[in-house]
Structure 1
């Protein structure tokens, strides 16, 4: 596996490369600045498999470097691990918003770093298998459809939506937060009520475009907040925002629904694609919670699924008692 490690501290860079070599990774290219890293990427005869980037560097910091790497067609899905002494919430948020896959703080533990890199290695391997399958298809249309083909429950990556990150990245983000920072966060789930019908009627390309439109509507309604958004499969999304965010209110569901209706989303045939959004209860965590930080996301998904089922029953003519809006507690 070919790695590019970037850090302006040469001692830290040496410790990093030695730690990687000790666990079996020897194909490592190093750079001491963002600009030199871009030069290494440009000069590489074989693409890098993944990146390890320090955040705090002069001229171009690791967050800007991450953004520039993500703009390159060859590296849109490549694992990017941020390694830094900074654990402030704003830096963690910025790193994941820029496209980071994972985040490790200094001083790092060699075993933890190895586990993170091996997770990235598995992601690279899966991506290569998918790419090889695409090249095996002869027609251009079949290539596109095969590349995009996914099951209804797959947590696919949705690109070019503000604040949107992958599900694995969201889980990693939550796991990096301290208990206090988890307490300061709020999670809310959204579900497309008609997802089974839409999925059965759509080609992979149509389905991806529809999910992207819904993600755009959610992101647009949250634009005045500091948030991260991910797609979890089965038509469900989760947003994690600051606990005091004014955008998280009962009116948010209405705003998203209006935004979707204004888009006038349709199938390729021209028939209108009916989309109803079910928004779950906002989920928070107490300071004394002993559960895993990802329970915040899991609880938000459960609440969104409960709301979706209630709306489906109402649509079928089954009476459903309404509960008062409030805040749920995660595990």
Structure 2
């Protein structure tokens, strides 16, 4: 991970560099003059995976530098963490509006700094893997045996209203420490996803999972939310602050939605998507972070909704070949 630090205090930069070296990053680059960093960014020469910016600097403060970085193509989505000894609410709001993702207060806590950068590293790893998968997809309909792992958070060809998992993580990072508290996350599990992955080709599996996603999105339609496929048959929805959903009511609605699908799927020798909701999780008012919220959503989902055993649907009688309408889509076959 390449880290760029901008602070006009050389002593603080020296201490920060020592902290960062303990994390073994690929490279650390420091600047005492924010204008120099801004110029290099505009020239496309400021390479960084994460930027640490001091808020109070002469000539160009951290908020102005953040805005300048966000105006470049190079750092439109690069995680930016502001460092400040000032906690004035208007300054914080200004930095968030300029595009900052997180705040750390001086004097820095090593554990907190390490935790924030660890979360950034996870996002970068996911971003690189998603980019590699996207580059390999090509014309998906011409590659029915395209391979991706069961746990990969990608759903090629889906058009039911999901966002990329990376975009969901970036959305949470963008909320920052001021906007994240009170945000609600909720997991959904396609319980028979292991069976589908084992018995369908990859396009069929994508259609099957997309059907499940469409069911969930339909029953969340009255709420403001973003939902992404998280791999392994799981979805994660992030509801805006002030939004809430009762899990029990949603469970009943999802179960009822399977009823009309049962006969059609059974005629094809396939199980209908079996989707269950996990408990909603609200980000705490103190100590909230994007990584912790996603982790808690996954943990609550794992505890509440077990995956269906691989052989649970083996007793289904063989059905018609999976073909149906042109393109072989489950949705086209059923509707």
* Residue matched to 2:132: 126
Contact 1:187–1:238 under 8 Å retained in 2:
yes
Contact 1:224–1:247 under 8 Å retained in 2:
no
CA distance in 1, matches of 2:241, 2:191: 26
Is 2:150 aligned against 1:152?
Answer: yes
2:306 to 288, 306, 309: 309
CA distance in 1, matches of 2:200, 2:266: 8
CA distance in 2, matches of 1:268, 1:249: 28
Contact 1:189–1:236 under 8 Å retained in 2:
yes
**How far off its partner does 1:255 sit?**
1.8
* Residue matched to 1:321: none
Contact 1:157–1:165 under 8 Å retained in 2:
no
CA distance in 2, matches of 1:206, 1:265: 18
CA distance in 2, matches of 1:104, 1:182: 15
SS in 2 for 1:238: strand
**How far off its partner does 1:144 sit?**
1.9
**Stretch of structure 1 that moved more, 173-182 or 236-245:** 173-182
Aligned positions, number:
229
SS in 2 for 1:151: coil
**How far off its partner does 1:221 sit?**
0.7
Q: Deviations over 1:107-148 (max 9, x none)?
A: xxxxx9xx99987994686257515xx68xxxx97x42234x
SS in 1 for 2:180: helix
Contact 1:227–1:241 under 8 Å retained in 2:
yes
SS in 2 for 1:302: helix
Q: Using a 3 Å threshold, how does the CA distance of structure 1 residues 184 and 199 change in structure 2: closer, same or farther?
A: same
SS in 2 for 1:229: strand
SS in 2 for 1:154: coil
2:271 to 249, 273, 280: 273
Is 2:20 aligned against 1:23?
Answer: no
TM-score by length of 2: 0.53
CA distance in 2, matches of 1:128, 1:192: 23
Contact 1:165–1:230 under 8 Å retained in 2:
yes
Contact 1:278–1:311 under 8 Å retained in 2:
no
SS in 1 for 2:289: coil
Q: Using a 3 Å threshold, how does the CA distance of structure 1 residues 124 and 206 change in structure 2: closer, same or farther?
A: closer
CA distance in 1, matches of 2:189, 2:123: 32
Contact 2:226–2:237 under 8 Å retained in 1:
yes
| Larger-gyration structure (1/2) | 2
* Residue matched to 1:166: 164
* Residue matched to 2:191: 193
Q: Which runs of 5+ in 1 are unaligned?
A: 1-12, 25-51, 56-78, 93-102, 107-111, 316-331
Contact 2:208–2:273 under 8 Å retained in 1:
no
Q: Using a 3 Å threshold, how does the CA distance of structure 1 residues 182 and 22 change in structure 2: closer, same or farther?
A: closer
**How far off its partner does 1:214 sit?**
0.8
Q: Using a 3 Å threshold, how does the CA distance of structure 1 residues 80 and 194 change in structure 2: closer, same or farther?
A: farther
Q: Using a 3 Å threshold, how does the CA distance of structure 1 residues 306 and 118 change in structure 2: closer, same or farther?
A: closer
Q: Deviations over 1:270-328 (max 9, x none)?
A: 1242332221111112212x35322212211222222222987xx9xxxxxxxxxxxxx
Q: Using a 3 Å threshold, how does the CA distance of structure 1 residues 302 and 218 change in structure 2: closer, same or farther?
A: same
TM-score by length of 1: 0.54
Q: Which runs of 5+ in 2 are unaligned?
A: 1-37, 49-68, 81-91, 102-116, 313-335
Contact 1:165–1:228 under 8 Å retained in 2:
yes
* Residue matched to 1:296: 293
